[in-house]
Chain A
């Protein structure tokens, strides 16, 4: 076996293995060379020349003369003979020169950014592939010398470093590259299509060269900032809010995509935050001012949802919540304060609440703080106008519970009542509601106008859950009275007294009301027809025989009757109030009566009598005719029984006034509530002072605010306190006039 030719001719150790047949093992003696084998003198030069030629060819993109294996061995030989470092140095120098030349060739070329970038890209691609090839050739160097020597870069890194040095030094080039990239970016942002792959390659180049952050990212972010700053301002002026928000969304998506496609992922966070800041954060206040109210009014759910999501990104939900509060408070206030809308107020409030709830669910994804803001704003505006909303809500419920409510199913009614109750929850002066509700309930129960007892009871239960049983005690008492009265009437009718003594030709049904439960009614004295009087007396006797120790007062204003009336065309039944009855009964004896006569005979109070006569003579159904004609009843008027009455129905309702509330009634109810409040304040003051014995003014006031359930002003409290001082329930402390003492 001959050694490889690489070492040249003479002097290699010649191991000739003498073939021996089996025999005793022969000792082999290997003697070293007498002279150490020496490298040929120009070994290094010649080897390098070969390598250099190869490298140059690679750089020139020419085919390499020697085989790659030969080159590999050459490197190996040099390394083994400890010539690695000079080899490295020489290689470095060659590459250096080449790279410098290549980059220099870019100077002053191509004004068009795209072309320039393509050239740059080409140079970079070449560099990469060439370095790869060179590295493969010089692999042995890379694996041994480089690793063993500290402070020496790997060949690939060396290439990068050289490239970078020359790129940086030719500052014009790197700047041009960056400028080119930025202008392409801007074009793309404006909507043009650009060569993304080219951009990606160049950005990867920067990253590899570790120039990305300083050379590209910084100017990129600056440029992005100014781009979006201007765009933000411009778009805010030109477009309306929903479009603007949509645009923001679009931009966010674009930039994200940009990052995915060609920008370095590390830039993503900074980039998105720039866009957020410039497009959104700067303009949040303006967006809200410009378009929030309009979106809310138009119930634009998807736009509101988008706004919510976007604002959440920039952490500005607090601003949005404030805008929501302001919007609700303002629209609510307009609604509440507009007296002309009173008739519709509750309906409008319910609608508005429903809309807001929908928005909360659909657009604000049930955000709890937003829900609270809605609640607080409602509570704020609904109490701006004292008393009236409470009154209107009571009336609304009354209308729903009354007969004549066609077309509402039981479920719908339940739902409506629940929603009204939500409104009720916001009201601070709940005692006003109670007073009106009680009054209306009384009317419904006594005149038999309740649509369904179940619905009534369900409403009471709801109120009980809401306000506690103290609130509903009296109301429940009213129901009990009605039930008890029914039972009592049946036992009365079957009693012997009833069967023997009652006047014939008249049927009566009597409700016995416990005074404390029902609203107070002023007693009205009138001259009742004889039969009614008799009936009442018999009933009273019977009742008192069963319940001694009680007192019965007849409430004439609440009674209603059905009168069988004989007209020319036949008999009709008139459904009328007691006062109307008394008036009509007078016409049993005479067809024509003067106002004065009626006034004297009935004993009905003047204003009430005029109202009664109006309802009989000037309304839709004229049981009487008035002379002279006209709406107003004058003292000199005369009334004639209208026997020619022509109506289709058998039973005619002429009793609409009892259900309607007069203005005086209304004012009286409100006045009573206020009176009640004064008593409550007095009682509370005495209660507190009795416990504490001594208390400072400010503490007393704050304690009262805690205890009293209705809205009250400090000035009103002061007044009551002064009145109590006058009546000697309290005194001012002699030493410290800011303190009150309880006087036992």
Chain B
């Protein structure tokens, strides 16, 4: 069995012993919907959160969804569950807290975090064919996934103030992450002749004014 850091955060199946698979399935059944054995719905999720003493809005839950590559917010399918829990080798609710801690560390790595960040955006696009996130939702999501960035506060205020864009595109979302990775807090190394999205250019101008 292979443990330790993995390159991709998406749940990948690894070879499991039959006992583990059973345990995971049983684990699943504790929270699945009464009328659909293949799905955990919002109440199930709430119950899970209560059991591991994590708020439903906690970022670790999002990380869990990411690990499972969950398609829909508030729902886990059996397949997703098996993949996610299996790759974390998490067979019971008791083990879950520890697994979550490991998961948290895993996600902090730059490459994994980038995938996670991207996932967060698509996760919020709940309508079919939705490609942009409205400012409100985007702001909330940003606060959840990167609370510690020095650029976060001013950026949030900026996107509230400005009138040009009513929603963020994936390009702008990812641009912001890159911006936080590369730019100093005092913005001294920012070069607007580079390929930054126009939104970020405007943000820097606004901040400097």
| Interface residue ranges, A against B (CB under 8 Å) | 696-698, 701, 714-715, 718-719, 722, 725-726, 732, 737-740
Contacts and interface: CB of A to CB of B under 8 A. Distances in A.
B194 A722 contact: no
Interface residues of B, number: 12
Contacts of A696: 195
Contacts of A698: 193-195
Contacts of B194: 697-698, 738
Contacts of B171: 722, 725-726, 732
21 contacts: A697-B194, A697-B195, A698-B193, A698-B194, A714-B193, A715-B198, A718-B197, A718-B198, A718-B201, A719-B198, A722-B169, A722-B198, A725-B169, A732-B171, A732-B195, A737-B174, A737-B175, A737-B178, A737-B195, A738-B194, A738-B195
Interface string B176-203: 0010000000000000011101100100
Nearest to A731: B171
A495 B174 CA distance: 71
A700 to B, nearest CB: 8
Given A732-B171, A737-B178, A722 B197 contact: yes
Contacts of B175: 737
Contacts of B197: 718, 722
Identify which of A698, A715, A719, A722 gathers the most chain B CB atoms within 10 Å of its CB.
A722
Contacts of B131: 726
Given A696-B195, A725-B169, A737-B175, 16 more contacts: A697-B194, A697-B195, A698-B195, A701-B193, A715-B201, A718-B197, A718-B201, A719-B198, A726-B131, A726-B169, A726-B171, A732-B171, A737-B174, A737-B178, A738-B195, A739-B195
A715 B198 CA distance: 7
A-B pairs, top 8 by smallest CB distance, nearest first, are: A697-B195, A738-B195, A718-B198, A725-B171, A719-B198, A737-B178, A738-B194, A726-B169
Contacts of B193: 698, 701, 714
Contacts of A732: 171, 174, 195
A715 B193 CA distance: 9
A455 to B, nearest CB: 47
Contacts of A697: 194-195
Which label, helix, strand, loop or mixed, suits the secondary structure of the A interface?
A: helix
Contacts of B174: 732, 737
A83 to B, nearest CB: 98
A714 B196 CA distance: 12
Contacts of A737: 174-175, 178, 195
A697 B198 CA distance: 13
Interface in B140-188: 169, 171, 174-175, 178
A149 to B, nearest CB: 86
Identify which of B131, B178, B195 gathers the most chain A CB atoms within 10 Å of its CB.
B195
Contacts of A739: 195
Contacts of B169: 722, 725-726
A701 B171 CA distance: 19
A505 B131 CA distance: 64
Identify which of A696, A726, A737, A738 gathers the most chain B CB atoms within 10 Å of its CB.
A737
Given A726-B171, A732-B171, A740 B195 contact: yes
Contacts of A718: 197-198, 201
Interface string B102-125: 000000000000000000000000
Nearest to B172: A722
A742 B14 CA distance: 37
Nearest to B199: A722
Contacts of A719: 198
Contacts of A726: 131, 169, 171
A726 B174 CA distance: 13
A715 B175 CA distance: 16
Identify which of B131, B169, B178, B197 gathers the most chain A CB atoms within 10 Å of its CB.
B197
B87 to A, nearest CB: 23
A620 B194 CA distance: 61
A696 B195 CA distance: 8
Nearest to B197: A722
A739 to B, nearest CB: 8
A715 B205 CA distance: 12
B183 to A, nearest CB: 13
A426 B193 CA distance: 27
Contacts of B201: 715, 718
A583 B131 CA distance: 53
Contacts of A725: 169, 171
Nearest to A697: B195
A718 B169 CA distance: 15
A742 to B, nearest CB: 15
Identify which of A697, A718, A719, A739 gathers the most chain B CB atoms within 10 Å of its CB.
A718
A732 B173 CA distance: 13
A740 B194 CA distance: 12
Interface in B16-72: none
Nearest to B205: A715
A733 to B, nearest CB: 10
A725 B178 CA distance: 17
A722 B198 CA distance: 8
Contacts of A722: 169, 171, 197-198
A279 to B, nearest CB: 49
Contacts of B195: 696-698, 732, 737-740
A738 B175 CA distance: 11
Nearest to B182: A737
A169 B193 CA distance: 78
A146 to B, nearest CB: 85
Contacts of A701: 193
B112 to A, nearest CB: 15
Contacts of A738: 194-195
Contacts of A740: 195
A413 B111 CA distance: 71
B79 to A, nearest CB: 27
A512 B198 CA distance: 46
Nearest to A737: B178
Nearest to B171: A725
A715 B194 CA distance: 11
Contacts of B178: 737
A701 B201 CA distance: 16
A697 B174 CA distance: 17
A131 B194 CA distance: 90
A55 to B, nearest CB: 94
Nearest to A717: B198
A722 B170 CA distance: 11
A737 B175 CA distance: 9
A694 B169 CA distance: 22
A740 B196 CA distance: 12
Contacts of A714: 193
A705 to B, nearest CB: 12
Nearest to A714: B193
B111 to A, nearest CB: 12
A703 to B, nearest CB: 14
A719 B169 CA distance: 13
